[in-house]
Amino acid sequence: MSGDIRRQRPDERIQPARVVAFEVISSVSHEDAYANLLLPGAITSAGLDRADAGLATELCYGTLRMRGYYDRVISIAAGRSVDRIDPTVLDILRLGAHQILGMRVADHAAVNESVALARRYASRSAVGFTNGVLRGITRRSPEEWLRDVAESAPDADERRAVLASHPEWVVRAFRRSLAAEGREAELDALLDADNLAPAVNFAALPGLASRPDDASPNRFSPVGFTGDGGDPEHAVTASGGRIRVQDEGSQLVALALTRARPVRAGERWLDLCAGPGGKTAILAAEALAAGAGLEANELVPARAELVRRALAAVPLDVPVRVGDGTTIGESHPGRYDRVLLDAPCTGLGALRRRPEARWRKQPRDVPELADLQARLLDAAIAATKPGGLVAYVTCSPHLAETRAVVSTAVRRSAGRVTELDAGAVLRGIAGDDLDLGGDDSRLSAQLWPHRHATDAMFLSLLAVEA
Ligand SMILES: C[S@@+](CC[C@H](N)C(=O)[O-])C[C@H]1O[C@@H](n2cnc3c(N)ncnc32)[C@H](O)[C@@H]1O
């Protein structure tokens, strides 16, 4: 009885890291929030120390990433589809399941704190339900759950998707992309890599900063390094923005445009879809060193402002225009020597970083984006001088956004554009052990989280006929 009374206290103490994680997960589920944008502020507002901030991050990111798997576990333990569970209770159960199956949290702590969350955030009836479902989950070991979830899938594709917590259509798209380079056997390694938090990676803007002595150099990017686990914001601020947080793959594709061939002083470069400006900063540093000029364009004014901020560290005057990149070919025909088109895309190559992204994207997004990518690429080519160079980049390995867009543009150009060997350019920057798969007929390059520890960046380099 006294236990019941204690359970009914409305302000029962819940570890603050769990409250932060739950509230962010809930905003992601119900308000379309982005965990990577929301979580840092939530951690600060709650005054979490470093250890608790790490715990909140693991609770939040791990739960969101493995949601597909945990939903199957929950539906088996609850004996009903997750569609028939109150959405707030479902988020509490997902968070509890992650602690029981994905972290080393003691079962009783995971269950008790989840029950307390249910008491605070859900209905009275949800308390017993939460307790029952989570206790049911604790009765089988993580290995037994893997087996039972695998057995619950009707076919091999669904089994792989649910065990690796990816939507099935994404798994199929990854398989096709890996198969296109003769590496279908790497599919499970790729899915596993998507479920691991990437190390914080930095770029030292070339010519303006250098890697700190105690930092580990990147394997492939000559300007990249990983930190010592300290506060990344501090490293960025202390360098005046000349050191930036940036994925190694993003660094490599930006450098591919600037280093594919020697730069003539006075060249004009354009970053067509620049927001928030990570690659613009690299291009600007390279332009400064080589005596080239750079302009940037971005559709969304707030993101154009981020580009301006990213450029503050580089002593080069870079005009940032707010506009629709699909019109650049008409407004600035044949103006630029080099154009970076880092196209808006599904972002399926950055699932490690954006834990909820895999559940947000839908197959119907792909043709819509591919159409925009094709129009942007036509515009980028039209804005490039004869003899100039275009880098087409996506942070997605989906073939409809990568090779299909490029081959259509090359075909449509009727001989005006030819593809360069992007792999050779990347190996010139990154070294010969950059393994780009086994398809020798392909001129584009695809980086992968499991093989290169980068986001899955795609690069095609297009030369415009002189
Ligand atoms: C993949 S992001 C670019 C990332 C950036 N290069 C970086 O490294 O920080 C694509 C950008 O294209 C912008 N965008 C979308 N549609 C556009 C359009 N029609 N014209 C110009 N920019 C567009 C998006 O707002 C987004 O900021």
Instruction: Lay out the sheet containing 224-226: strands in order across.
Output: 216-217, 224-226, 201-204, 243-245
Q: Could you tell me if residue 200 is inside a domain?
A: no
Q: Could you tell me if residue 360 is inside a domain?
A: yes
Determine the residue type at 211: R
Among 94, 113, 144, identify where a domain stops.
144
Q: Compute, in angstroms, the gap from residue 382 CA to the centroid of ligand 1.
A: 18
> Can you give the pLDDT at residue 442?
87
Residue 240, judged by CB atoms within 10 A of its CB (0-12, 13-18, 19+), counts as exposed
* Ligand 1 pocket at CB < 6 A: 250, 273-279, 297-300, 303, 324-326, 342, 344, 395
Cis peptide bond N-terminal to 276, omega within 30: yes
Range of the domain at 296: 246-464
> Can you give the pLDDT at residue 5?
36
Question: What residues contact 248, with CB distance under 8 A and at least 6 apart?
Answer: 201, 218, 219, 220, 221, 224, 452, 453, 454
Give CA–CA dist 16/48, Å, rounded.
Answer: 7
Binding-site residues, in ranges, read: 273-279, 298, 324, 342
Q: How many domains does the chain have?
A: 2
Binding-site residues for S-adenosyl-L-methionine, in ranges, read: 273-279, 298, 324, 342
> Does one domain contain both 402 and 253?
yes
Q: Compute, in angstroms, the gap from residue 137 CA to the centroid of ligand 1.
A: 43
Collect the ranges in the chain with pLDDT lower than 50. 1-8
Q: Could you tell me if residue 79 is inside a domain?
A: yes
Determine the residue type at 69: Y
> Can you give the pLDDT at residue 259?
98
Choice among 173, 377, 395, 457 that is catalytic: 395
345 noted as active-site residue: no
Closest Cα to atom 11 of ligand 1: 273
> Can you give the pLDDT at residue 7?
45
Contact in structure between 376 and 326 (CB atoms under 8 Å): yes
Looking from the CA of residue 250, the nearest atom of ligand 1 is 8
Q: Could you tell me if residue 237 is inside a domain?
A: no
Contact in structure between 92 and 121 (CB atoms under 8 Å): yes
Beta bridge partners of 459: 393, 445
Q: Could you tell me if residue 354 is inside a domain?
A: yes
> Can you give the pLDDT at residue 13?
85
> Does one domain contain both 309 and 428?
yes
> Does one domain contain both 137 and 277?
no
> Can you give the pLDDT at residue 2?
35
Question: What residues contact 455, with CB distance under 8 A and at least 6 apart?
Answer: 247, 249, 250, 349, 350, 352, 353, 395, 447, 449
Q: Compute, in angstroms, the gap from residue 75 CA to the centroid of ligand 1.
A: 39
> Can you give the pLDDT at residue 413?
93
Q: Compute, in angstroms, the gap from residue 158 CA to the centroid of ligand 1.
A: 33
> Does one domain contain both 104 and 253?
no
Q: Could you tell me if residue 287 is inside a domain?
A: yes
Among 144, 179, 198, identify where a domain stops.
144
**Which residue do the tokens 């834990």 mark?**
355
Domain containing residue 89: CATH number: 1.10.940.10
Q: Could you tell me if residue 104 is inside a domain?
A: yes
> Does one domain contain both 140 and 250?
no
Q: Compute, in angstroms, the gap from residue 45 CA to the centroid of ligand 1.
A: 30
For a substitution probing ligand 1, which of 273, 339, 369 has the most ligand atoms within 8 Å of its CB? 273
Element (H, E) at 339: strand 336-342
Q: Could you tell me if residue 179 is inside a domain?
A: no
Among 108, 126, 144, identify where a domain stops.
144
For a substitution probing ligand 1, which of 250, 299, 368, 373 has the most ligand atoms within 8 Å of its CB? 299
